[in-house]
């Protein structure tokens, strides 16, 4: 058929013949133009194909043939129309009107059907005595190739079109998808796809395959991965990683270090005791705050409310105390500094799955056997790693078409991109994904991921008040370090790093305390705690004895053992 204006074609279209395929021919623009359609830019270029799926009447513009004034009518207009026979130069192409229509008139929709391609003058007593010309405006719903959503185009769009439905029976309109949408389409996997637009977010991995995810790259998407991940960070640097549960390396526990009582209290876990060794002499500036010396062995128990301040209840153990003695009770303020290191007596080698199952996170570890599947396992070069959190996130096992054997795992929720599925065949054998056992994270994404973790959006706990500054003429003398023989005996009993001075102490990032503080109670029942799982010296249970806690002290966190 010959090209028609879009308005003429839509007005003459029979809705029962839908869908119809149109080709854009020309219009007020020669090559193509960008239109604002349904709030989105839509580029209609010469030669583009449109698949018309629905046509809906939006309004009718009535023009007074004498004055040129226009009135807009809604599709629900109830007035009736009569042909203005005195203004019609010749009989209508549709022939004479039925008698009932001549007597009662035509509804708005009947008048539009009568109109056909030629504009015919009509009269409507509801509007006025003058003749009117009706111009309908339709909303056309159409599909375009390589466009995600259907477009809604006004019929008044100034372009010329031609109907190519008959010769375009084999034309397939490809619909772009987001990679995140493919997660819910496991029935189409495995499949091959072509990237239309690269990742919508900033780079998250420091991997070479991420930089190849750009327009025109062809992918094979094999399956959904059901492995979980663990967020890890190097304790001696700024590198962060995401470890797959498929990681085959071996770990050994490392003692955690705490910079101050605040960090020590934040690391308390319900139902467990925390045994540490003092690594730096420190004395409080307030009255009643006991001094701590290098080598003191403490057992952190619970938080107490002593008067108007919060204190950490600890037991200080000495080498001279008997098996049935609990040790000296200390109430340490949260603003007390110092340096502490966890007592660990555990030489077992763990898999990643065992660590996550047996130990609470975060925990510090060291890789003692690297993953044999990796050509170079970077985790083995770090003296200590902190495993921070377990993450469950869906991944897609993929590979590049030119390298089908080298697979990788893409997290669509973090690294989304636009692509179109093709009908080309895909290898049935899944590729190796060893390179995804360890993925290094960018610094920006690491902090973004921390904020997305449960509790990550909550503000950090308020810092305790700064300690009072001592007068310049007052010099606090540190307590003497333990005797060499005594220090050596401690070293044989547990794995404790060498003490450091205050100038060598490095402040670690404080962790928000995962503590839910119960309501204050007037009294508490004292129970003796069980020996720590990693303590080098087991203790026999003994009958409870009275504690030397001030009478105005209120328990904030129940005993880690429970009643």
Tens digit of each residue's pLDDT (9 = 90 or more) over 59-76: 999 999 999 999 999 999
Least confident interval from 58-62, 143-147, 181-185, 331-335:
143-147
| Stated pTM of the model | 0.62
Can you tell me the distance from the alpha carbon of 563 to that of 559, in angstroms, rounded to the nearest whole number?
Answer: 8
Least confident interval from 132-136, 219-223, 417-421, 536-540:
536-540
3-class DSSP assignment, residue 13: coil
- Give the model confidence (pLDDT) of 9-62 as tens digits: 999 999 999 999 999 997 544 334 455 555 444 667 888 899 999 999 999 999
Q: How many Cβ atoms from other residues are within 10 Å of residue 533's Cβ?
A: 13
For the segment 370-374, the average pLDDT, to the nearest whole number, is: 96
Contacts of residue 362, Cβ cutoff 8 Å, sequence gap at least 6: 386, 387, 388, 389, 511
Confidence band for 561, pLDDT divided at 50, 70 and 90: very low
Of the two residues 543 and 169, the one the predictor is more confident about is 169
Q: Is the pLDDT of residue 528 over 80?
A: no
The encoded tokens of residue 159 equal 């372009």
Can you tell me the distance from the alpha carbon of 273 to that of 270, in angstroms, rounded to the nearest whole number?
Answer: 8
| Residue 122 contacts residue 132 (beta carbons within 8 Å) | yes
User: β-strands 418-422, 151-154: how paired?
Assistant: unpaired
For the segment 338-353, the average pLDDT, to the nearest whole number, is: 91
The encoded tokens of residue 62 equal 């009535």
Q: E strand or H helix at 112, and its extent? A: helix 108-115
Percent over 90 (pLDDT), the chain:
47
Name the residue with tokens 């037991």.
Answer: 315
Instruction: Pick from 135-139, 144-148, 460-464 the range whose average pLDDT is largest.
Output: 135-139
| Residue 2 contacts residue 133 (beta carbons within 8 Å) | no
Confidence band for 90, pLDDT divided at 50, 70 and 90: low
CATH code assigned to 257-318+329-342: 2.30.30
- Mean of the per-residue pLDDT values for the chain? 78
- Could you check whether the bond before residue 88 is cis, i.e. omega within 30 degrees of 0? no
3-class DSSP assignment, residue 343: coil
Alpha carbon separation from 308 to 22, 305, 505, 527, 552 (Å, rounded): 79, 7, 30, 25, 10
User: β-strands 553-555, 297-306: how paired?
Assistant: antiparallel
The predicted structure's pLDDT at residue 537: 40
Percent over 70 (pLDDT), the chain:
73
Alpha carbon separation from 137 to 16, 43, 240 (Å, rounded): 19, 21, 59
- Give the model confidence (pLDDT) of 279-322 as tens digits: 999 887 777 788 899 999 999 998 888 778 889 999 998 877 65
For 318-353, where are the E strands, in sequence order? 328-333, 340-342
- Give the model confidence (pLDDT) of 498-521 as tens digits: 443 333 333 334 434 433 333 333
Of the two residues 55 and 476, the one the predictor is more confident about is 55
The predicted structure's pLDDT at residue 518: 39
Strand partners, 407: 399
Q: Integer distance in angstroms from the first to the last C-alpha of the chain?
A: 89
Of the two residues 271 and 199, the one the predictor is more confident about is 199
| Residue 294 contacts residue 280 (beta carbons within 8 Å) | yes
The predicted structure's pLDDT at residue 270: 74
For every residue of 271-302, which 3-state class applies, written as one string? CCCEEEEECCCECCCCCCCCCECCCCEEEEEE
Of the two residues 382 and 100, the one the predictor is more confident about is 382
Q: How many Cβ atoms from other residues are within 10 Å of residue 71's Cβ?
A: 13
Q: DSSP states of 162-200 as a string? A: EE-TGGGTT------EEHHHHTT-GGG-SEEEEEEE--S
In which order are the strands placed within the sheet that holds 438-441?
Answer: 250-253, 363-369, 385-391, 229-234, 240-244, 438-441
Q: Is the pLDDT of residue 324 over 70?
A: no
Q: DSSP states of 29-63 as a string? A: SSSEEEEEETTEEEEEETT-EEEEEEEEEEEEEEE
Q: Is the pLDDT of residue 473 over 50?
A: no
The predicted structure's pLDDT at residue 56: 95
């Amino acid at each position: 058929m010959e090209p028609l204006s879009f308005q003429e074609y839509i007005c003459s279209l029979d809705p029962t013949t839908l869908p119809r395929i149109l080709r854009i021919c020309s219009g007020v623009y020669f090559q193509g133009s960008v239109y604002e359609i349904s709030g989105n830019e839509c580029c209609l270029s010469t030669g583009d194909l449109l698949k018309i799926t629905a046509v809906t009447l939006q309004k009718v513009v009535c023009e007074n043939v004498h004055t040129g004034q226009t009135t807009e009518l809604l599709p629900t207009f109830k007035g009736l129309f009569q042909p203005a026979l005195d203004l019609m130069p010749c009989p209508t192409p549709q022939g004479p009107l039925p008698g009932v229509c001549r007597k009662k008139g035509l509804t708005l929709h009947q008048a539009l059907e009568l109109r056909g391609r030629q504009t015919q003058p009509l009269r409507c007593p509801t509007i006025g005595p003058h003749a009117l010309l009706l111009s309908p405006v339709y909303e056309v719903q159409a599909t375009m190739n390589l466009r995600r959503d259907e477009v809604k185009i006004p019929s008044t769009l100034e372009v010329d079109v031609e109907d190519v439905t008959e010769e375009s029976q084999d034309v397939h309109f490809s619909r772009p998808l987001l990679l995140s949408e493919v997660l819910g389409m496991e029935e189409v996997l495995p499949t091959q796809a072509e990237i239309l637009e690269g990742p919508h977010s900033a780079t998250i991995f420091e991997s070479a395959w991420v930089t190849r995810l750009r327009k025109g790259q062809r992918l094979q998407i094999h399956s959904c991965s059901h492995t979980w991940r663990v967020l890890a960070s190097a304790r001696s640097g700024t590198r962060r990683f995401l470890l797959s549960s498929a990681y085959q390396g071996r770990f050994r526990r490392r003692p955690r270090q705490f910079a101050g009582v605040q960090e020590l209290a934040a690391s308390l876990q319900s139902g467990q005791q925390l045994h540490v060794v003092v690594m730096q002499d420190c004395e409080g500036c307030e009255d009643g705050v006991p001094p701590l010396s290098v080598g003191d062995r403490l057992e952190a128990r619970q938080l107490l409310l002593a008067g108007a301040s919060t204190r950490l209840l600890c037991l200080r153990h000495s080498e001279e105390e008997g098996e049935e003695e609990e040790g000296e009770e200390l109430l340490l303020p949260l603003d007390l500094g110092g340096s502490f290191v966890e007592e660990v007596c555990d030489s077992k080698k763990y898999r990643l799955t065992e660590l996550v199952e047996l130990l609470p996170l975060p925990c510090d570890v060291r890789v003692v056997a690297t993953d044999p599947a990796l050509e170079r396992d970077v985790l083995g070069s770090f003296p200590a790693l902190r495993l921070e959190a377990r993450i469950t996130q869906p991944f897609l096992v993929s590979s590049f078409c030119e390298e089908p054997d080298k697979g990788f795992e893409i997290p669509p929720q973090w690294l989304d991109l636009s692509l179109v599925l093709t009908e080309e065949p895909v290898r049935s054998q899944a590729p190796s994904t060893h390179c995804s056992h360890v993925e290094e994270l960018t610094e920006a994404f690491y902090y973004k991921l921390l904020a997305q973790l449960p509790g990550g959006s909550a503000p950090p706990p308020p810092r305790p008040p700064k300690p009072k500054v001592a007068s310049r003429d007052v010099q606090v003398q540190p307590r003497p370090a333990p005797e060499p023989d005594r220090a050596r005996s401690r070293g044989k009993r547990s794995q404790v790093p060498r003490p450091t001075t205050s100038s060598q102490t490095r402040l670690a990032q404080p962790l928000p305390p995962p503590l839910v503080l119960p309501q204050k109670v007037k009294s508490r029942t004292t129970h003796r705690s069980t020996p720590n799982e990693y303590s080098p010296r087991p203790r026999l249970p003994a009958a409870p004895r009275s504690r030397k806690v001030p009478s105005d002290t209120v328990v904030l966190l129940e005993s880690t053992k429970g009643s």
